[in-house]
Structure 1
């Protein structure tokens, strides 16, 4: 019996005892842990088509697709009718609400745009594309904190393909309207010098940004810190962001990808 027990113990040692424990990348005092293995499958992509009931009627999808085609050709009124019909068929689907908000924004009706962005955010409180940033900007315009039309001017950064023009627009907005946090996020992403990037990031964080903008600022800050050799601080920043209650779904995915990149480029000790 003692021999059998010895052999079993020895076998267990070789089968289990020699295995290396999962390498911990981040751990906090709340019991949250991220291991290197946890990061292997992350792609940074978010499926915004998912709904709470996980079912979207094909008819609603068809109406939404038709509405987007109409909107892209400038037929806004026809697009709105299609989107409203899609919403009736799929009231828990945020996508047509989001596109309805954007269509009203293009029509110059910021009040209705804000209303539908807020409805989108209510359906998807952890974030849906740029809805939170749109609400931040349009509420600021409504309250007089920002001038009317600033959000549309800001969107030109995304719409232009010329990097020099993007930088010029971002600089102009941050200089003229320094309290507009999203522009600092864009500026930080367009700058090449890490010292200047960090300055833009920290300035943006001081401007009470929306959750989506704040998350991207913190992710970019972590990447700059990593470039400067402060890997532990970068890991800490990303880990805290991932487990923060207000972090959006998209920012969690991007933060995990950033953490994955840092780990893959860290030499084994």
Structure 2
């Protein structure tokens, strides 16, 4: 809670002296003319500070934000049950806020409860149909795990790989995923930047696109493709691709905004 402090100057401005410390009375002086009023005749005006306003009562959303932060702290320390409790309390106070629900799904995924996680991620997608974080990608991958198109637990291994602090360790884990789950497009997408030269990067990008990714991931890949085209010196072709992303209503706002930014700031006019 924010605290307010007020420094009172009343003692400094109005404090009196003891009888012994008072100076002797001044010698009487002739009365001043009306045109020259005595300064002692004017009343002393002291401006005292106004009292501070009372602290603002936190709203329900403020409390939800605090509970969500506590949930994340619990989750980071490995106390998943405590994290879930805080996320639930935050959701009750702010039911339209997707983040506590999203982190609830992620917590269940980290606990190895992929079926439960999928159900909650689908709730997040209904709450934010235009996309929220990587929800659409996670849903598609968990559905593929459920149907047997990729091995169960693949996405959890992907999360572990992406948390690797060392880039070389991350690369090795991602490459291992492409061997154990060749149709797992998020790993191919992350490996693009590790490719040696434009040829290898373009090959990996096309591999990821060929695996029919979700609309969110596909949009990211198309933006990446425009970047690689520019590196090839194909600025005009890249602009055509980016403009098509802006004009086509199928793309999510994140893709459209990324294309607009690239057209305005990245590529030359």
TM-score (normalizing by structure 2): 0.73
Among candidates 106, 123, 129, match of residue 125 of structure 1: 129
Within 1, Cα distance between the matches of 2:164 and 2:248?
Answer: 33
Q: Over residues 187-208 of structure 1, what are the superposed CA-to-partner deviations in whole Å (9 max), with x where a residue is unaligned?
A: 1133241111111111111111
Within 2, Cα distance between the matches of 1:125 and 1:117?
Answer: 11
Within 2, Cα distance between the matches of 1:127 and 1:102?
Answer: 16
Structure 2: give runs of 5+ residues left out of the alignment. 1-58
Alpha-carbon contact 1:56-1:93 (below 8 Å) kept: no
**1:135 matches 2:139:** yes
2:39 corresponds to: none
Alpha-carbon contact 1:126-1:246 (below 8 Å) kept: no
Q: Aligned ranges for residues 1-269 of structure 1 at < 5 Å?
A: 57-263=61-267, 266=268
Within 2, Cα distance between the matches of 1:66 and 1:262?
Answer: 39
Could you say what the CA RMSD is over the residues aligned between the two structures, in angstroms?
1.8
Q: Which has the higher helix share?
A: 1
Q: Over residues 195-226 of structure 1, what are the superposed CA-to-partner deviations in whole Å (9 max), with x where a residue is unaligned?
A: 11111111111111011211111111111111
Classify the secondary structure of the residue corresponding to 1:165: helix
Classify the secondary structure of the residue corresponding to 2:130: coil
- CA displacement at 1:152 relative to structure 2: 0.9
Q: Over residues 75-122 of structure 1, what are the superposed CA-to-partner deviations in whole Å (9 max), with x where a residue is unaligned?
A: 110110111111112111110110000010111111111111111111
Within 1, Cα distance between the matches of 2:262 and 2:211?
Answer: 24
- CA displacement at 1:262 relative to structure 2: 3.2
Classify the secondary structure of the residue corresponding to 1:235: helix
Q: Which has the larger radius of gyration?
A: 2
Structure 1: give runs of 5+ residues left out of the alignment. 1-54
Within 1, Cα distance between the matches of 2:260 and 2:166?
Answer: 29
- Which of the pair has the greater relative contact order for Cα pairs under 8 Å at 6+ separation? 1
- The aligned length equals 211
Within 1, Cα distance between the matches of 2:198 and 2:102?
Answer: 35
- CA displacement at 1:261 relative to structure 2: 4.2
1:24 corresponds to: none
CA distance 1:260–1:178, change in 2 (3 Å): farther
1:32 corresponds to: none
Classify the secondary structure of the residue corresponding to 1:126: coil
Classify the secondary structure of the residue corresponding to 1:57: helix
